[in-house]
Structure 1
Amino acid sequence: MTTQERGATYTEVFANREFRVLFGSFTLLVAGDQVKMLALSALVYARTGSPGLSAAAYLVGFLPYIVGGTFLLSLADRIRPRALMVAGELVRVVTCLLLAFTGLPVWAMLLLVLATGLFSPVFGAARSALLPDLLPGDAFVLARSVLNVTAAGAQIGGLAAGGAILAFAGPTGALAVTAVLSALAAVVLRYGLPDFPARNAENATPKGDGPVRETLRVNRALLADPRVRGLLLAQWLPISLVVGAEAMMVPYLGNAAGFALAAASVGLAAGNFVVGRFVSPVGRERLAFPFAVVSGVPLLAFAARPGLAGAALIVLLATAASTACQLGLQRWFVDAVPEAVRGQAFGLASAGMMTGQALGGALVGVAAELTSPHMAIVLTGAATVVSALALHRSLRAGGQRPA
């Protein structure tokens, strides 16, 4: 039995030295970003006393994904990945130090975070595109699974650590700690990763398009390809709707919403681990469509207005199913996109998912205004099922036309 038939193992994934480097730097990145945004929010509140501005400061780090994903993603294929990822960490170091020690006015702090955040999708795309080179076949899928679980765990850990650091060192100290974490990640990447060549270096020459034109051109080409477009929508729609439903937990459960949101993180980890560890590669791909449909079904149970325990269980199941669906799509997506623009393709998938989750939350909010929180969740569950059925071709065979 070959590795591809039986599936890779997490032991094999972590046996790869370069993956361990990416894993360590990614953990530092996610945890550091949570501390940074928490510290920035606290700093803005301390200076202005405005809860609204404080909330805006926390969310502003997520907004640039739309712009960066639209105009800058080609840089992920035009620049050497190690140099790009190290540059990303150094940008975070400089940003945190400027926020902490220069006394910038609030408007300038928010503008700085927005401007530097424009490149975050590019740095992430370079990392994602490198994974299939380091770990081909099913090992790549498990590597994605590991990073997904790490992201959830590091977010929770980063928020907890951020709260503790804020209590002892204040916002300035927390930003300084984030700068140290980013500097450490830069060192890990610089000395732990080989200097792989740029994936699409020929387009970085003066004769080629500039990065903005190249990004727009390649985005159009990717979205014009029926197979790639279907796989992108399959990665965006079901999970974005499920996350949108989670945005209703606060209106539905009030102060107890944190338990349901924690259950969503457990579901994310469980879906990745169980399906990644115990289901074969072919099995994951066969289950992508059922998982996409099933991710919306539990949300329909909100019609019965479940209590805290029921709501937490429903959210856990929906998140686990939507996450497991993603694992079944990964190899199809790698096969579908041209290797020369793989970085941009992964960046587009990530930026679209971030944007879709924000829009999903907004649409569920509108539905709640027109109906009620629990009915908005029910409608979202129905929309998830409908979207999965509409995308059945991409979810069943990656949109591959029969030979």
Structure 2
Amino acid sequence: MTSQQGYRAVFRVREFRFVFAAHVLSLLGGVVSHVALPVLVYEQTASPLMSALTFGLGFMPQALGGALLAPVAERYPGRPVLVGCDLVCALSVAAMTVPGTPSALLLALRAVTAFVQPLFGGVRAAGLAEILVGDTFVLGRSLIRISAQAAQIAGFAATGLLLLVLPPRGALVLTVAGFLASAALLRFGSARRPPAAVERTRGGTRALFAERRIRALLALCWLPPAFIVVPEGLAAPYSTEIGAGSLGVGLLLAAMPVGGVAAELAVGALLKPAVRERLVLPLAGTTLLPFLIFAWQPGLPLALAVLLVAGTGMAYSLGLDRWFFDAVPEELRARAMTVMTAGLMTVQGMGMAAGGVAAEFMPPHLVIVAAGAVGTVCVLLAVVAVRAVRKTADAGEAPGPRAKAGGDGAAGPVPETPMADM
């Protein structure tokens, strides 16, 4: 099977079609709320800080949710957990649409929807490995990521237009509909599967982080996104710095997702799995280097080109997905994916916040340069660590968590393969 046939093969799996459709509907609903809720809060408070907090609350509660809800991912069947998360989000957003809802309650409800996202993403990612096998799993994960980036490219602009004809609460009704439709598709279109054996997974998070191989892979998963979001967080001040205006802000925000979508489609469709895996370390190690060009404070066209090129480096995720799932014991996958999702969103929020703080003391373009330089050093350290543990694994050393979690002394990688995920 060629890689291109593999993309078609993914959609030939009936259950994946339902899961993917549910993902798209909840994703679109999330994009609408991501824009409409800050507008609603600002209308009620006239406070830029309160409006900005609605964005921050999309990231911060995810770390807590990932830590507290990770055991749920393996103790309960996946389908009810996914449907339950969608219903929690639908009810929370529905409460936001009630006229007169205080702004503080709006923020609390936003935090609730963010709190359950790592659980949803982790369970979905683990379940995806049961729906798709071999290379189709990697390509299925790729499609999940591509759709998320495509929503970022088109969704924010479309929601801005939507708010010209609908009040914010009216737009939030569409978010409720998206979550409810997603819940229905998952309930009736996906199979019910038993949870992981609870006795075999006690202390699972400790077992994950006790394994050097998994720690190295998580570092490589988290570090590039932590730094690559810095230009997105500084899009408005950098656009002002170069005189590009509001149009420049939108284009700067879209550039890296465009590069990411194009590269992931090309790598997934044109390259064989072995080639994709060989590209993981080179792509990850160089993806932040283009940021150094911001030292010359490039104008809008060159800045867009630099960000587009940087976005292409994120295609390293295709090969990394395979490595991560090979390293994690089957009974710990749901927990591992919940931890990965929570960590990913947390480091992105921290990266944006750190970039914003740094921009209080130095020009935005120099903050982006610093992100490129410091980020490259950090990622290269992770690359060295991953290279070392892969050499050890190839030499025949058994990965630790399987023996610790399984209790039977079994060793070796689990077949199959890391949001937006099943």
TM-score > 0.5 by shorter chain:
yes
Matched, 1:127 2:124: yes
Decide which of 49, 52, 55 is 1:55's aligned counterpart: 52
Tell me the distance in 2 between the aligned counterparts of 1:357 and 1:178. 23
Indicate yes or no: 2:11 matched with 1:14.
yes
1:339 paired residue number: 330
Cα pair 1:294 1:385 within 8 Å, conserved: yes
Gaps of 5+ in 1: 209-213
Letter in 2 for 1:144: R
Secondary structure, aligned partner of 1:186: helix
2:35 match: 38
Give the C-alpha shift of residue 67 in structure 1. Answer: 0.6
- 1:307 corresponds to which of 299, 304, 312: 299
Does the CA-based 8 Å contact 1:145-1:276 persist in structure 2?
Answer: yes
Amino acid corresponding to residue 19 of structure 2 in structure 1:
L
Where do residues 358-369 of structure 1 align in structure 2 (5 Å cutoff)? 358-369=349-360
**1:352-403, CA deviations, whole angstroms, 9 ceiling, x for partnerless residues?**
1111112222333344444432222222212232123212245447635123
Deviations 1:294-327 (A, max 9, x none): 2122111112221111111111111111x11111
Q: Show the 5 A alignment for 1:258-297.
A: 258-297=250-289
**Map 1:182-201 → 2, pairs under 5 A:** 182-201=179-198
Query: Structure 1 residues 141, 394: CA separation in 2 closer, same or farther (over 3 Å shift)?
Result: farther
CA displacement 1:62-99 (0-9 Å, x = unmatched)? 32111101221121111111111111111122112211
Give the root-mean-square deviation of aligned CA atoms: 2.2
How far off is 1:102 after superposition?
A: 6.0
Question: Alignment partner for residue 88 of structure 2, among 87, 91, 106?
Answer: 91
2:145 to 139, 144, 148: 148
Q: CA deviation at 1:8?
A: 5.9
- CA distance in 2 between partners of 1:137 and 1:7 (Å): 14
State percent identity of aligned pairs.
38
Deviation at 1:221, TM superposition (A): 2.1
| Paired amino acid for 2:217 | L
Q: 1:52 to 1:76 in 2, by over 3 A?
A: same
CA contact (8 A) 1:36 1:174 kept: yes
Pick the aligned partner of 1:170 from 159, 167, 171. Answer: 167
Q: Which residue of 1 aligns with 2:399?
A: none
Secondary structure at 2:225's aligned position in 1? helix
Q: TM-score, normalised by structure 2?
A: 0.86
The reply to whether residue 233 of structure 1 matches residue 225 of structure 2 is no
Distance 2:135 2:384 in 1: 22
Q: Secondary structure at the match of 2:279?
A: helix
CA contact (8 A) 2:153 2:258 kept: no
Alignment pair present for 1:218 and 2:204: yes
- Counterpart of 1:211 in structure 2 is none
Q: Distance in 2 between matches of 1:373 and 1:161?
A: 28
Alignment match of 2:230 (pick from 212, 232, 244): 244
Q: Which amino acid aligns with 1:15?
A: R
Give the Cα–Cα distance (whole angstroms) in 2 for the partners of residues 331 and 109 of structure 1.
39
- CA distance in 1 between counterparts of 2:337 and 2:121 reads 9
**Against the structure 1 CA distance between its residues 201 and 8, is the aligned structure 2 distance closer, same or farther, given a 3 Å change threshold?**
farther
What amino acid sits opposite 1:73 in the alignment? A
What is the identity, as a one-letter code, of the residue corresponding to 1:150? Answer: S
CA distance in 2, matches of 1:236, 1:352: 7
Q: Is 1:376 paired with 2:373?
A: no
In structure 1, distance between residues paired with 2:100 and 2:162: 20
Q: CA separation in 1, counterparts of 2:350 and 2:302? A: 26
Q: Rate the CA distance shift 1:341–1:86 in 2: closer, same or farther, 3 A.
A: same
Greater displacement, 33-42 / 19-28: 33-42
Q: When the two structures are aligned, how many residues end up with a matched partner?
A: 388
